[in-house]
Amino acid sequence: VEFLYCDLASMKSIRQFVQQFRAKNCPLHVLVNNAGVMLVPERKTEDGFEEHFGLNYLGHFLLTNLLLDTLKQSGTHSHNARIITVSSATHYVGKLHLDDLQSRCSYSPHGAYAQSKLALVLFTYRLQHLLTANGSHVTANVVDPGVVNTELYKHVFWVVKLVKWMTAWLFFKTPEEGASTSIYAAVSPEMEGVGACYLYNEERTKSADVTYDEELQRRLWTESCKMVGISDESSRVP
């Protein structure tokens, strides 16, 4: 195991990480996008993005796009490279505000978190569409890990923390259990060559209806490219 530092809340850090990784000339067969914050108070990343949207979504959007060439070179017809992005069941109640992705008009920790997780699902489906259109041997899937007993809940109300402390052993998954569906998506022979799936408990399930809106997927992708400063090559793909 070799560690390379990457702060998903910093576009500069992401670009430096990708540069360091590419310098190693290593193949990239599996990319798991799993960084995140939840219900944090209103604050911004060093690039000026609302933290949920900037870290949970835009950080992964930029990282994945910068690594796409390496992923495409690493995948083969019989062994596709795989991109796994971790979302949440919270995306079902999320709303994407394309005119206010930074939640500047009215900030809600719950709304901002749900929007970031919804964006990850839309991103995954659009990404798979582009990969398929280009004939790339890369698949992209999105995972719901379930309710997992981690430090992600440190910003919830103290009452919720108390309930979590009392019931975690009964209702919450362990981190190992929470990782199982991501691992399944990354290595299972059943997922070879299969993309654009929403996975929960190692099974394909239906995501929110709005996530299948291809026009919304396209518009989010285009806006995301502008925000992170990369070219929107997808504009040439229907």
Is residue 107 annotated as a catalytic residue, yes or no? Answer: no
Residue 40, pLDDT > 80, answer yes
C-beta neighbour count of 59 within 10 angstroms: 26
pLDDT value of residue 164: 43
Q: Which residue has the tokens 């796009």?
A: 65
The reply to whether 1 falls in a domain is no
Least Cα distance to 53 among 5, 4, 94 occurs for 94
Average pLDDT of the segment spanning 50-73: 98
Residue 75, pLDDT > 60, answer yes
Least confident of 3-17, 89-103, 135-149: 135-149
Phi, psi for 82 (deg, rounded to 5): -130, 135
The reply to whether 2 falls in a domain is no
The reply to whether 128 falls in a domain is yes
pLDDT value of residue 169: 42
Helices 11-23 and 59-74: angle between axes, nearest 10 degrees: 20
Domain range for 39 is: 9-234
Tokens of 7: 């702060």
The reply to whether 4 falls in a domain is no
The reply to whether 104 falls in a domain is yes
Least confident of 12-26, 103-117, 185-199: 103-117
> What letter represents residue 29's amino acid?
H
Specify the CATH number for the domain of residue 86.
3.40.50.720
Mean pLDDT (the chain, rounded) = 89
The reply to whether 38 falls in a domain is yes
Q: How many domains does the chain have?
A: 1
Least Cα distance to 190 among 68, 71, 181 occurs for 181
C-beta neighbour count of 118 within 10 angstroms: 26
Average pLDDT of the segment spanning 61-83: 98
Residue 186, pLDDT > 70, answer yes
Are the CB atoms for 76 and 82 separated by under 8 Å? Answer: no
Give tens-digit pLDDT for 122-169: 999 999 999 999 999 999 999 988 664 455 545 454 444 444 445 554
pLDDT value of residue 236: 60
Q: How far apart are CA 43 and CA 112, in angstroms?
A: 11
Catalytic position from the list 5, 57, 92, 113? 113
Q: How far apart are CA 46 and CA 189, in angstroms?
A: 40
Least confident of 6-15, 106-115, 141-150, 195-204: 141-150
Q: How far apart are CA 223 and CA 214, in angstroms?
A: 14
pLDDT value of residue 146: 66
Tokens of 33: 């996008």
Please report which helix (H) or strand (E) contains residue 32, including its range.
strand 30-33
pLDDT value of residue 178: 67
Q: Is pTM beyond 0.85 here? A: yes
